[in-house]
Amino acid sequence: MSLAHAAQSSVHSAEELLAGILIQLAIIVAAGRLAGEIAVRCHQARAVGEIIVGILLGPTLFGAVAPDLFHQVFTSIPPEPMIILSQIGLILLMFEIGMEFDFGQLAHSQHQRATALVSVFGIVIPFALGLGFGYFAAPHLAPGINQMSCALFVATAFSITALPILGRILIEFKLTRAPVGVVAISAAAVNDVVGWLILMAVSALALSSFSLGAFSERLLLLLAYALTCWFIVRPLLLRLVRFEMGRKPGLPGGLLASVLSLLFISALCTYHIGIFAIFGGFMLGLLLHAERHFTEQWADRVGHFVQVLLLPVFFTFTGLRTQVGSLATLDDWLWCAALIVVATLGKFGGSYIAGRLAGSSSTDSKILGILMNTRGLMELIVLNIGLDLGFISQKLFTMLVLMALVSNIMTTPLLKRWLRRTEPSAGSTYSATAQ
């Protein structure tokens, strides 16, 4: 084959891959937007509609009704380009979430205590219930898989709060600067960092290669990264932002390029530490949360693009990998219902108890509990790791995905109901700033 012919063939292959990606993007963006609008009209978070339409576009409906067309659209090209796009969208979302929250409110001792209690109870109680449920259910739902390995992954999935979805819900409800929102997102951030550490330990234990030294090394690297960001990167970044924003109106292109470069470097750092790239985006956002003018300009210039294109790609593409048809019997659905009930009791109940111990009212504790019960993205990462390692079955994977979806569906109506009962007042621990 001549060099020219090889180059032509390479270009043709690239064009075919691009065409396939463009078809997927056209369908996902349009369907995700429509489903998101329907979800909002049904008093749900937009993400709920995007996940549901992803399930419908996957093997559950589209793949069953038109298998040839489904293969041509979604499985005839490698999935990696779409996965990369969705991950970039998540990093940008987490950066925006980090900027949106005022963690200065945690200087109040009562908020610190509430965050600590919710973080502990929101992990320990769900993990314990998940461990028991997973161990008991493994012979029925994951035959042939080691019981304890399966139980550990179920327990980890029960313990994690969906930080991106929680952040998006708080933004939609304008709770980003309300004390309840600050406590919830702070506890969820702690929850997820601990959750990833638990996931690393569980994976190592399940593979019979647990190393306390390697685990401790990751903790030290994470601490060093956080301290470097806060005490070295933050002062320099704030000085750069204030200088550039003072020189030119709007969001200068040079500043945008610099922040994006730092954002991706931060994400790369957390990836190498082993707690996933999206936390790098969240951490860099925290460094800029006090720069309200920059935050507003970012939301106007970049935020809309992320919300309209990149996030629907992630949520919809996630749904594409769920096979509801694997639950074929009444017993399967009864097990699924039991799993959802136990998971909700663990997360909602643990956070509610923590809120009450922190001194908040019953209604405020319910709000905190339902916020912490949001699951989805982070859990799906855990589930995919467990499935890829062979420690949970396809059937159990599907049940856990449905549990995450149900937990998100119940969040919005219950949140609206309980927020109407909450009257903002100076003395309220978790007073909502907006209805």
Tokens 């992954």: give the residue: 153
More confident of the two residues 194 and 368: 368
User: What pLDDT sits at residue 105?
Assistant: 53
The pLDDT value given to residue 434: 34
Nearest-angstrom CA–CA distance, 347 and 343: 6
Question: Domain residues of the chain, as ranges?
Answer: 87-291+328-420
The answer on pLDDT for 53 being more than 50 is: yes
- Which pair of structure tokens corresponds to residue 371? 């916020």
* Residue 360, pLDDT above cutoff 80: no
Name which residue leads in pLDDT, 303 or 8: 303
Burial (CB < 10 A; 0-12, 13-18, 19+), residue 392, is: buried
**What is the percent of the chain with per-residue pLDDT over 70, rounded to a whole number?**
84
Each residue's pLDDT tens digit, 189-228: 777 667 766 776 676 565 544 456 666 777 788 889 989 9
- For 164-176, what is each residue's pLDDT tens digit? 677 777 777 777 7
Which CATH topology does 87-291+328-420 take? Na+/H+ antiporter like fold (1.20.1530)
What is the rounded average pLDDT of the residues 422-428?
47
pLDDT given for residue 261 in this prediction: 95
pLDDT tens-place string over residues 89-112: 888 888 887 887 655 555 555 567
Q: Mind giving me the DSSP string for 290-304?
A: T-HHHHHHHIIIIIH
Alpha-carbon gap, residue 210 to 148, rounded angstroms: 14
Mean per-residue pLDDT, 383-391: 77
With 80 as the cut, is the pLDDT of residue 358 above it? Answer: yes
The tokens describing 31, both together, are: 């369907």
Q: Find, among 412, 392, 396, 410, the residue nearest to 339 by Cα.
A: 396
Considering the entire predicted model, what is its pTM? 0.72
